[in-house]
């Protein structure tokens, strides 16, 4: 606590003690309820002043609460049985009403909004002073309203109840007009306020209506000389004034609620949610519907908010304030100026926004990196496929052609050597046989490198050829006739080829069914057998490699293989 | 080799030439490589088959029949001979029995 705050706190305590002492200097003692209400009103304003000073050091609201508190407490002097304090106390008895009006017009920032409103506040103070002064000049307490036991009014110029009454009759319409102007301005503030300010104005509107109703009732009652109602109106009804300090409590609660809501909003916000959703969540939590989240337009000095409206940080417009986001240099928060009174809340909002944006940026970065990795993996697999196709073609165009030519030449040599040397014939037969076997082996090798039938005929022909060569009786239940990108065809082919090889090796059955179905945007490849089951995705390098291969084109491989109930190997491969 | 086996042979290097030559020479049998520099042998077979009095077409390749899946069966060709099994006798099998 600073020294200034400590002094203010001591002052408040002293004021309350003074008020209690003064009130109990009267004989007979006043009613306890009246004393309690009177002390409570003063103490609560002084307390609200201290708290507001502490919470909003930059605002004048603390000062205004404090001034109102003293303006309520000090006139208790009038209870002392001496002429000077009696006169002073009565003279300043209604200053608190002017500072209440000042406080209400300056709410919620502590600043008056225009020169006109400054004029209104000055007029209220001036009228208040003038009215008290004139009343005192013509009020003789001994004859009017106080009784012979009262101290003298030192300001009494003329003991003329008639003049006093005339002045009172003039002052009623002036006072009511000023009240009406203040109330109208407060309503206008509420009506024009948006976002956080509007929220902060709601309580004030209700309170002003109640306080001004009290003041009007007091004025009317005093003019009609309704002495019967004085206990109620002057002793008990001021309890309504306690709603003034309640404003401070309400605004504290609003800020606290907003802080809590911010936390929840950020937790509830889906990771990577778009900036407009982040803005909406923050605006809802803060209770500032005018909140803007603006981003720098790449390559320019201008900003655009999430609704696409241009934001000029140099010219924000009246009642708007700007907050930079920590750690996010290209984004800004633009909000209701009244929110600046809650710097902690603004800081929290900015941090929350930064955190969410940073999270979204990191997530986008990770996604982009993943996409890069996926694309590079796909490129590696495609390059591998292309290389295998080239090898197969080289074998076909080179060694295979030469072996065919050799085989044909040996055949011709064998025909020409018919009837010649039997040893030569036998040699040519065996050479021809060797050449043919070499050709068969070379073809097997080439097919293992890359199935030419896949390049030539696509999936339908290639699966037919695969089924015919397989040692398992394979039924092709379904296969689309059209061609797909080479990577998709190769992946689907290798899935079926590996699955059939697994059936032959492990499934203890001699039948399998292959089905390839085209669904929107993807190809579903399934190989089913009714064998032993129990295959596991991590069971061997073959299935792991196959899963990698399927993943390289963005697909998913699944294995359903309960022991004893067959195996279903399925791959979902994205395809255009 | 085919001439040695008693065939009269006209050669063509591409699919387009093969179609042209077949039209002018009107052969009884066309030995058609599936892999040609321009269009593939299946396409040439389809074109030749649509012409009246179309020749007997025998497809051939360095590859095996299995490498072409169902394409051979679906083509109008009379059959397929792997290149290393080519011989006059094997070709004659595809001609009608009464031919010389």
The fraction of chain A above a pLDDT of 70, given in percent, is 97
Cβ-based neighbour number of residue B20 at 10 Å: 12
C-beta of residue A167 within 8 angstroms of C-beta of residue A214 = no
Would the CB atoms of A461 and B86 count as touching at under 8 Å?
no
**Listed range (A193-197, A315-319, A471-475, B96-100) with the worst mean pLDDT:** B96-100
DSSP letters for A272-323:
T--HHHHHHHHHHHHT-TT-EEEEEPTTSS-EEETTS-EE-TT---TTEEEE
A-chain CB neighbours of B89 within 8 Å are none
CB-based contact, B87 to chain A, within 8 Å: yes
Instruction: Compute the distance between CA of residue B63 and CA of residue A403 in angstroms, rounded to an integer.
Output: 12
CB-based contact, B2 to chain A, within 8 Å: no
Interface pTM, i.e. ipTM? 0.79
Residue A515 is predicted with a pLDDT of: 95
Would the CB atoms of B84 and A404 count as touching at under 8 Å?
yes
Q: What is the pTM of this model?
A: 0.59
Instruction: Compute the distance between CA of residue B54 and CA of residue A393 in angstroms, rounded to an integer.
Output: 32
CB-based contact, A511 to chain B, within 8 Å: no
CB-based contact, B68 to chain A, within 8 Å: yes
The 3-state secondary structure of A156-206 reads CCCCCHHHHHHHHHHHHHHHHHHHHHHHHHHHHHHHHCCHHHHHHHHHHHH
pLDDT tens, residue by residue, A421-475: 889 999 999 999 999 899 989 988 988 888 888 887 789 888 988 888 888 899 9
Interface of A with B in 24-83 (CB under 8 A): none
C-alpha closest to that of A533 among A555, A566, A487, A497: A566
A-chain CB neighbours of B69 within 8 Å are 453, 456-457, 460-465
Which candidate from A404, A407, A465 shows the least CB-CB separation from B67? Answer: A465
pLDDT tens, residue by residue, A18-48: 988 888 887 777 788 888 888 999 999 999 9
pLDDT tens, residue by residue, A331-379: 888 998 888 888 888 888 888 888 888 888 888 888 889 889 988 988 9
B-chain CB neighbours of A468 within 8 Å are 66
What are the respective helix, strand and coil percentages of chain B, to the nearest 5? Answer: 35, 15, 50
Give the pLDDT band of residue B9 (cuts 50, 70, 90).
confident
pLDDT tens, residue by residue, A208-261: 888 888 888 877 777 776 655 666 777 777 888 888 888 888 888 888 888 888
A-chain CB neighbours of B90 within 8 Å are none
Kindly report the nearest CA distance between residue B69 and chain A, in angstroms: 4
Residue A364 is predicted with a pLDDT of: 81
A-chain CB neighbours of B83 within 8 Å are 404, 408
Give the pLDDT band of residue A522 (cuts 50, 70, 90).
very high
The residue-averaged pLDDT of A197-218 equals 84
Instruction: Compute the distance between CA of residue A89 and CA of residue A83 in angstroms, rounded to an integer.
Output: 10
Question: Positive or negative CA dihedral for A343, A345, A346, A350?
Answer: positive
Mean pLDDT, all residues of chain A: 86
Which candidate from B1, B68, B86 shows the least CB-CB separation from A453? Answer: B68
Residue A310 is predicted with a pLDDT of: 86
Would the CB atoms of A404 and B70 count as touching at under 8 Å?
no
pLDDT tens, residue by residue, A264-299: 887 887 776 788 888 888 888 888 888 998 988 888
Omega within 30 of 0 (cis) for the link into A28: yes
CB-based contact, B63 to chain A, within 8 Å: yes
The answer to whether residue B72 scores a pLDDT higher than 80 is yes
C-beta of residue A484 within 8 angstroms of C-beta of residue A460 = no
């Amino acid at each position: 606590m600073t020294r200034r705050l400590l002094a203010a706190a001591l002052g408040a305590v002293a004021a309350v003690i003074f008020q209690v002492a003064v009130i109990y200097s009267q004989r007979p003692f006043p009613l306890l309820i009246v004393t309690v209400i009177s002390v409570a009103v003063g103490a609560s304003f002084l307390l609200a002043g201290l708290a507001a000073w502490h919470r909003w050091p930059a605002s004048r609201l603390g000062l205004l609460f404090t001034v109102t508190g003293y303006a309520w407490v000090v006139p208790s002097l009038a209870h002392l049985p001496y002429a000077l304090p009696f006169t002073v106390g009565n003279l300043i008895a209604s200053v608190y009403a002017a500072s209440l009006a000042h406080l209400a017009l300056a709410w919620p920032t502590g600043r008056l909004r225009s020169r006109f409103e400054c004029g209104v506040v000055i007029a209220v103070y001036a009228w208040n002073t003038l009215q008290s002064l004139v009343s005192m000049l013509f009020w003789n307490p001994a004859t009017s309203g106080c009784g012979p036991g009262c101290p003298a009014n030192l300001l009494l110029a003329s003991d003329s109840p008639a003049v006093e009454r005339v002045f009172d009759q003039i002052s009623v319409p002036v006072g009511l007009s000023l009240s009406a102007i203040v109330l109208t301005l407060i309503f206008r503030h509420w009506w024009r306020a948006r976002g956080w300010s509007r929220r902060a104005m709601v309580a004030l509107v209700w309170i002003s209506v109640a306080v001004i109703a009290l003041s009007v009732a007091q004025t009317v009652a005093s003019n009609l000389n309704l002495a019967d109602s004085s206990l109620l109106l002057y002793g008990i009804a001021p309890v309504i004034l306690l709603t003034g300090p309640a404003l401070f409590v309400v605004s504290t609660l609003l800020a606290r609620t907003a802080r809590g809501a911010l936390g929840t909003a950020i937790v509830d916000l889906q990771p990577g949610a778009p900036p407009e959703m982040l803005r909406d969540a923050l605006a809802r939590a803060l209770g500032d519907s005018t909140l803007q989240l603006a981003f720098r337009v790449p390559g320019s000095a201008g900003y655009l908010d999430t609704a696409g409206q241009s934001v000029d940080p140099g010219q924000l417009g009246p009642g708007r304030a700007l907050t930079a986001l920590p750690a996010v240099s290209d984004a800004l928060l633009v909000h209701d100026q009244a929110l600046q009174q809650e710097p902690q809340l603004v800081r929290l909002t900015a941090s929350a926004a930064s955190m969410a944006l940073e999270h979204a940026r990191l997530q986008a970065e990770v996604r982009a990196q993943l996409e890069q990795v996926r694309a590079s993996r796909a490129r590696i697999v495609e390059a591998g496929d292309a290389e295998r196709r080239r090898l197969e073609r080289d074998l076909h165009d080179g060694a295979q052609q030469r072996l065919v030519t050799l085989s044909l030449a040996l055949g011709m040599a064998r025909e020409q050597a018919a009837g010649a040397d039997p040893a030569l014939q036998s040699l040519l037969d065996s050479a021809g046989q060797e050449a043919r076997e070499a050709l068969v082996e070379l073809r097997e090798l080439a097919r293992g490198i890359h199935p030419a039938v896949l390049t030539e005929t696509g999936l339908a022909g290639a699966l037919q050829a695969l089924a015919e060569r397989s040692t398992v009786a394979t039924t092709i239940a379904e296969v689309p006739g059209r061609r797909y990108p080479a990577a998709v065809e190769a992946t689907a082919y290798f899935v079926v080829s590996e699955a059939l090889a697994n059936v032959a090796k492990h499934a203890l059955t001699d039948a399998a069914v292959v089905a390839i179905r085209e669904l929107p945007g993807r190809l579903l490849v399934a190989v089913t057998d009714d064998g032993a089951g129990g295959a596991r995705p991590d069971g061997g390098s073959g299935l792991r490699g196959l899963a990698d291969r399927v993943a390289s084109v963005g697909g998913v491989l699944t294995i359903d293989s309960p022991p004893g109930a067959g195996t279903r190997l399925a791959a979902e491969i994205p395809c255009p | 080799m085919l001439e040695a086996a008693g065939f009269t042979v006209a050669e063509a290097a591409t699919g387009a030439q093969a179609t042209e030559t077949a039209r002018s020479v009107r052969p009884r049998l066309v030995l058609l490589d599936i892999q040609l520099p321009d269009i593939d042998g299946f396409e040439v077979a389809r074109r030749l088959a649509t012409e009246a009095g179309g020749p007997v077409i025998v497809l051939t390749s360095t590859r095996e029949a299995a490498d072409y899946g169902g394409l051979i069966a679906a083509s109008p060709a009379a059959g397929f001979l792997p290149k290393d099994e080519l011989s006059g006798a094997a070709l004659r099998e595809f001609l009608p029995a009464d031919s010389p």
